[in-house]
Amino acid sequence: MTTTTTTDQFQSRDEIVRFIEEQTATAVEKSMEKAAPPVGRVERRVPWVTAGPVGQDSAGYSVLKAAAFALGYVGADQAKEEIHTHQQLRDLYAGYGFQPHHGSQSFLVPLSSELLPVFEPQGRRLQAELRQKMTAQAGRFDPDEADWIGRRTGRGRLTRKAMTLAGESDGFLQTPVLGELIELQRNLEAFSAAGAREIALPPHGRVTFPKLTGSSTAYWVGEGTPITESQPTTGNLELQAKKLGVLVKLNNELLRFASPSAEALVRYDMARAAATKADLAMLEGTGPLQIKGLLTYAGLPTHAARILGAAGDTFAPEDVALMEARLPDAIDAPTAWLMRKALLAALMNRRADAAAEGDGAGPFVFAPYRSAAAGPPAQLFGTPVVRSSQVSETRVKGAATDLTYALLGYFPDWVVARLGVMEFLAGNQGDTALQNDMTYLRGIQHIDAGPRRLESFVLCDQLKVA
């Protein structure tokens, strides 16, 4: 038998409305009790839904909030922008067949808005929106507060010097510490500072970059004489996504500070770790799981230093011009030198002989007009110098095992392909993390790189620093 409730059971319309509201409130309370986490702890969730207004660029994007939400430290209402951004990136890349390595557990973080696929209006709108979100809090960064937080959490001072085409500049980090992650990372990468070309890696993780391996030939011909055919030879630079894992260990205090300065410390840590690893691979990586490094390519042009030694060679002033002469005539000028800071210092301090052979008391041979008050020179033979600690200091010749090298090149012929997002996982489990009250953040970048023209680079190896 079916029981039907009608308006006859109630005295008035107001009672009907009151009855409906009471039933609805009771159902909501029961569902909340069933889903409520234990007292004092926020339930750990995957980033599916959020509530309330989102898409407010002025609110800004926070990597710390994304990590705190993934760990259950904050609720969805406190990480609306981060969840909304994840959903937008997930939907955009899903349309191109990209699936995160860890499925619903992966939190997608913007790496570079300019590397996003923008073939339709959705992608173009998202590109502009993310650019604003990642830079929204840049004006609120306080260097003094960042130093204080850095000392409290053991992360040092955020006064690292920025890598530029002329080496390192003085003062605070020059790139926006609350800008896009890729901008900070590029500033710390030697190859980017040297002028490497960057392209977007498609969502499917593979790109073919055409290159010319042999040029056409011209001929003088007479009247009525057929022109000799010439066929230029071409090749392809195949770039395929490599997984670059970035692991940053954070004191949980950083998650609790929740300030733009703490956010800057985290972004800097992630960018520095990724830049260091990428530079080393682009120089000496062995592939295939990592980038194949420039020095590992067969056929890389080399130059032997003019002053040879059984336990290492000495880089002389004439080697500068001789190395540039090894580059193809089609290259008007190289874009950068790449070497260790110690080698450049040794070159700048080298002096000619004065009264007796070998006394080293004469004028400086690489920088004749230098003074103790002046900064390090920005150029060699008119070409900017980029200094990097990723350049090896363990090259071997004879009994010497502490040698290094100098690399000269036209770096736009080195192509770097990156995906516009980074897969982000946060964890606080395990003995070390639990005992030390720490959080481990792991970001996975998809990147590959290679030379479009190997002849655009010249290596001078097995050099003594002293």
Each residue's pLDDT tens digit, 228-285: 766 666 778 889 999 999 888 887 777 776 788 888 888 888 888 899 999 999 999 9
Quick one: average pLDDT of 160-189? Answer: 60
Q: How far apart are CA 332 and CA 318, in angstroms?
A: 19
**Nearest C-alpha neighbor of 272 from the set 260, 264, 283, 284:** 264
Task: Return the pLDDT at 187.
Answer: 87
Runs of H (alpha helix) within 289-350 = 317-325, 341-349
Backbone torsions φ then ψ of 199, nearest 5 degrees? -130, 165
Give the lowest-confidence range in 88-92, 163-167, 200-204.
Answer: 163-167
Beta carbons of 101 and 80 less than 8 angstroms apart: no
Quick one: average pLDDT of 305-315? Answer: 94
Q: How far is CA 439 from the centre of its chain?
A: 21
**Nearest C-alpha neighbor of 80 from the set 104, 114, 57, 105:** 57
Kindly list the structural domains of the chain, giving each domain's residue range(s) and its CATH number in brackets, ordered by start.
57-135 (no CATH), 144-213+233-292+419-449 (no CATH), 298-413+455-463 (3.30.2320.10)
**Percentage, residues of the chain above pLDDT 70:** 77
**What is the model's pTM?**
0.77
Q: How far apart are CA 407 and CA 451, in angstroms?
A: 14
**pLDDT surpassing 70 at residue 1:** no
Task: Return the pLDDT at 28.
Answer: 41
